[in-house]
Chains A and B, each alone.
Chain A
Amino acid sequence: MSGYTDKIREISQRLLKDCSVEMIIGFRKGTQPMMNEPFVVRSAEDVDQLIWDSNCGINLTNYLTNRTEKIGIIAKGCDSRNIVTHILENKIKRDQLVIIGVPCRGMIDRRRIAMLAEGEVLAVTETDDAIVVKTGTGENEYKKSDVLQQNCKVCVHRNPVIHDELVAEPVEEQQDIDRYADVRDIEARKPEEKWAFFDELLAPCIRCYACKNACPLCYCPTCFVDEAKPQWLGKSQDPMDIRTFHFLRAYHCAGRCTDCGACERACPVGINMRLLTKKLEKDCLDQYGWEAGMSLDSRPALDIYRPDDPEAFIK
Chain B
Amino acid sequence: MGLVKRKAAYVEYPQAVPLKYAIDADSCIFLQKGKCGACKKLCPTDAIDFDQKETTGTIDVGAVVLSPGFTPFDPSRFDNYGYSKMPNVITSMEFERILSASGPTMGHIVRQSKDKREPKRIAFFQCIGSRDINKCDNAHCSSVCCMYAIKEAVIAKEHAGDGLDCSIFFMDMRTHGKDFERYYDTARDKHGINFVRSRVHTINPLENDDLEIRYVTEAGEAKTEVYDMIVLSVGFETSPQVIDLAHRLNIDLTAGNFCKTDTFKPVSTSREGVYVCGAFQGPKDIPQSVVDASAAAVEAGLSLSKARNTLTRVKETVPETNVNGERPRVGVFVCRCGINIAGVVDVPAVAEYAKTLPYVDYVADNLYACSQDTQDTMTDIIKEKNLNRVVVAACTPKTHEPLFQETLINAGLNKYLFEMANIRNHNSWVHKNNPDLATQKAKDLVRMAVSKVALSQSLQEAELTVNQAAMVLGGGISGMAAAKSLAGQGYETHIVEKAPVLGGQALSIYKTAKDEDVQKELAGLVAEINGNELITIHLNSELKGVEGFVGNFKSQIVSGGNESVLEHGVCVIATGGYPYQPDEYNFGKDPRIITSLDLDRKLIDQDASLKKLNSAVLIQCVGSREPDRPYCSRVCCTHSIDNALTLKKMNPDMSVYILYRDIRTYGEKELLYKEARKAGVIFIRYSTDNKPEVKLTDGRIVVRVTDHVLQLPVDIPADLVSLATAIIPNRDDTLAGFFKVPLNEDGFFVERHAKLGPSEFATDGVFLCGLAHYPKPIDESIAQGNAAASRAVTLLARKNIFTSGTVAETRPLDCSSCAVCISVCPYSAPSFTEKGPFAGKAEINPVLCKGCGLCVASCRSGAIRLKGFDNDQIFAQIFSFNEAS
Write out, one digit per residue, whether chain B residues 799-827 have a CB within 8 A of any chain A CB (1) or not (0).
00000000000000111111110011110
Cβ-based interface call for B875 (8 A): yes
Write out, one digit per residue, whether chain B residues 827-842 have a CB within 8 A of any chain A CB (1) or not (0).
0000000000000100
Cβ-based interface call for B872 (8 A): yes
Cβ-based interface call for A299 (8 A): yes
Cβ-based interface call for A208 (8 A): no
Cβ-based interface call for A222 (8 A): yes
The complex places the Cα of A219 from the Cα of B863 at a distance, in Å, of: 13
User: Quick one: which of A200-254 are within 8 Å of B by CB?
Assistant: 219-222, 224, 227, 229-230, 232, 252
* Residues B817 and A229 in contact, CB atoms below 8 Å apart: no
The complex places the Cα of A66 from the Cα of B819 at a distance, in Å, of: 14
* Residues A221 and B824 in contact, CB atoms below 8 Å apart: no
Residues in A with CB closer than 8 Å to B818 are 89-91
Considering only CB atoms and an 8 Å cut-off, how many residues of chain B contact the other chain? 23
A24 to chain B, nearest CB (A): 25
B740 to chain A, nearest CB (A): 9
Cβ-based interface call for A307 (8 A): yes
* Residues B819 and A90 in contact, CB atoms below 8 Å apart: yes
Residues in B with CB closer than 8 Å to A91 are 817-818
Q: Which of B118-126, B205-213, B782-790, B854-862 contacts A (4 or more CB under 8 A)?
A: B854-862
Residues in B with CB closer than 8 Å to A88 are 819
Cβ-based interface call for A196 (8 A): no
* Residues B872 and A230 in contact, CB atoms below 8 Å apart: yes
Name the contact of B816 in the complex, choosing from A221, A302, A303 (C-beta under 8 A): A221
* Residues B858 and A303 in contact, CB atoms below 8 Å apart: yes
Secondary structure call for the B interface: loop
User: Quick one: which of A74-101 are within 8 Å of B by CB?
Assistant: 88-91
Write out, one digit per residue, whether chain A residues 303-315 have a CB within 8 A of any chain B CB (1) or not (0).
1110110000000
Residues in B with CB closer than 8 Å to A90 are 817-819, 840
Most buried by B among A224, A303, A304: A303
Name the contact of B815 in the complex, choosing from A221, A229, A299, A302 (C-beta under 8 A): A221
Residues in A with CB closer than 8 Å to B824 are 303-305
The complex places the Cα of A88 from the Cα of B825 at a distance, in Å, of: 16
Write out, one digit per residue, whether chain B residues 617-636 have a CB within 8 A of any chain A CB (1) or not (0).
00000000000000000000
Residues in A with CB closer than 8 Å to B826 are 305, 307
A244 to chain B, nearest CB (A): 13
Using CB atoms, name the residue of chain B closest to A218: B860
* Residues B823 and A220 in contact, CB atoms below 8 Å apart: no
Cβ-based interface call for B742 (8 A): yes
Cβ-based interface call for B871 (8 A): yes
* Residues A303 and B860 in contact, CB atoms below 8 Å apart: no
Residues in B with CB closer than 8 Å to A229 are 872
Known: A222-B861, A230-B872, A252-B860. A305 touches B816 (CB 8 A): no
Name the contact of A299 in the complex, choosing from B823, B825, B875 (C-beta under 8 A): B823
Considering only CB atoms and an 8 Å cut-off, how many residues of chain A contact the other chain? 21
Write out, one digit per residue, whether chain A residues 170-210 have a CB within 8 A of any chain B CB (1) or not (0).
00000000000000000000000000000000000000000
Residues in A with CB closer than 8 Å to B742 are 307-308
The complex places the Cα of A305 from the Cα of B825 at a distance, in Å, of: 7
* Residues A220 and B816 in contact, CB atoms below 8 Å apart: yes
The complex places the Cα of A299 from the Cα of B819 at a distance, in Å, of: 10
The complex places the Cα of A311 from the Cα of B501 at a distance, in Å, of: 42
Write out, one digit per residue, whether chain B residues 849-879 have a CB within 8 A of any chain A CB (1) or not (0).
0000010001011110000000110010000
The complex places the Cα of A143 from the Cα of B586 at a distance, in Å, of: 72
Residues in A with CB closer than 8 Å to B816 are 89, 219-221
Using CB atoms, name the residue of chain A closest to B813: A221
A232 to chain B, nearest CB (A): 8
* Residues A304 and B871 in contact, CB atoms below 8 Å apart: no
* Residues B875 and A222 in contact, CB atoms below 8 Å apart: no
Secondary structure call for the A interface: loop
* Residues A89 and B872 in contact, CB atoms below 8 Å apart: no
Residues in B with CB closer than 8 Å to A230 are 871-872, 875
The complex places the Cα of A227 from the Cα of B840 at a distance, in Å, of: 22
Known: A221-B813, A230-B875, A305-B824. A89 touches B819 (CB 8 A): yes
The complex places the Cα of A224 from the Cα of B857 at a distance, in Å, of: 13
The complex places the Cα of A252 from the Cα of B862 at a distance, in Å, of: 11
Residues in B with CB closer than 8 Å to A232 are 862
Residues in A with CB closer than 8 Å to B871 are 230
Write out, one digit per residue, whether chain A residues 244-274 have a CB within 8 A of any chain B CB (1) or not (0).
0000000010000000000000000000000
Residues in A with CB closer than 8 Å to B861 are 220-222
B357 to chain A, nearest CB (A): 20
Residues in B with CB closer than 8 Å to A304 are 823-824
The complex places the Cα of A227 from the Cα of B875 at a distance, in Å, of: 14
* Residues A305 and B860 in contact, CB atoms below 8 Å apart: no
* Residues B823 and A227 in contact, CB atoms below 8 Å apart: no
Using CB atoms, name the residue of chain A closest to B736: A307
* Residues A305 and B817 in contact, CB atoms below 8 Å apart: no
B804 to chain A, nearest CB (A): 20
Residues in A with CB closer than 8 Å to B860 are 220, 224, 252
* Residues A302 and B813 in contact, CB atoms below 8 Å apart: no
Using CB atoms, name the residue of chain A closest to B819: A90
B732 to chain A, nearest CB (A): 15
* Residues B819 and A305 in contact, CB atoms below 8 Å apart: no
Known: A220-B816, A222-B814. A302 touches B858 (CB 8 A): yes
Write out, one digit per residue, whether chain A residues 264-302 have a CB within 8 A of any chain B CB (1) or not (0).
000000000000000000000000000000000001001
A177 to chain B, nearest CB (A): 30
B54 to chain A, nearest CB (A): 49
Residues in A with CB closer than 8 Å to B858 are 302-303
Residues in A with CB closer than 8 Å to B819 are 88-90, 299
Name the contact of A227 in the complex, choosing from B815, B825, B862 (C-beta under 8 A): B862
The complex places the Cα of A75 from the Cα of B560 at a distance, in Å, of: 52
Using CB atoms, name the residue of chain A closest to B816: A220
* Residues B823 and A303 in contact, CB atoms below 8 Å apart: yes
B50 to chain A, nearest CB (A): 52
A189 to chain B, nearest CB (A): 28
A298 to chain B, nearest CB (A): 10
A253 to chain B, nearest CB (A): 9
The complex places the Cα of A112 from the Cα of B129 at a distance, in Å, of: 83
Residues in A with CB closer than 8 Å to B817 are 89-91
The complex places the Cα of A91 from the Cα of B871 at a distance, in Å, of: 26
A145 to chain B, nearest CB (A): 36
B573 to chain A, nearest CB (A): 16
Using CB atoms, name the residue of chain B closest to A226: B862
* Residues B875 and A221 in contact, CB atoms below 8 Å apart: no
A9 to chain B, nearest CB (A): 34
User: Quick one: which of A123-172 are within 8 Å of B by CB?
Assistant: none
A295 to chain B, nearest CB (A): 15
Using CB atoms, name the residue of chain A closest to B832: A90
The complex places the Cα of A222 from the Cα of B862 at a distance, in Å, of: 8
Using CB atoms, name the residue of chain B closest to A249: B860
* Residues A220 and B814 in contact, CB atoms below 8 Å apart: yes
The complex places the Cα of A229 from the Cα of B811 at a distance, in Å, of: 13
Residues in B with CB closer than 8 Å to A252 are 860
Write out, one digit per residue, whether chain B residues 742-775 have a CB within 8 A of any chain A CB (1) or not (0).
1000000000000000000000000000000000
A4 to chain B, nearest CB (A): 33
* Residues B854 and A220 in contact, CB atoms below 8 Å apart: no
The complex places the Cα of A305 from the Cα of B871 at a distance, in Å, of: 22
The complex places the Cα of A304 from the Cα of B854 at a distance, in Å, of: 11
A273 to chain B, nearest CB (A): 17
Known: A89-B818, A90-B817, A299-B823. A305 touches B872 (CB 8 A): no
Some 18 contacts from A to B, beta carbons below 8 A apart, are A88-B819, A89-B817, A90-B818, A220-B814, A220-B816, A220-B860, A220-B861, A220-B862, A221-B813, A221-B861, A222-B861, A224-B860, A224-B862, A230-B871, A302-B858, A305-B824, A305-B854, A308-B742
Interface residues of A (CB under 8 A from B): 88-91, 219-222, 224, 227, 229-230, 232, 252, 299, 302-305, 307-308
Closest 9 CB pairs of A and B: A220-B861, A89-B818, A307-B742, A90-B817, A252-B860, A230-B871, A220-B816, A230-B872, A305-B826
Given contact pairs A220-B862, A230-B872, A299-B820, a sample of 7 additional A-B residue pairs in the complex whose CB atoms are under 8 Å apart: A220-B860, A221-B816, A222-B861, A303-B824, A304-B824, A305-B825, A305-B826
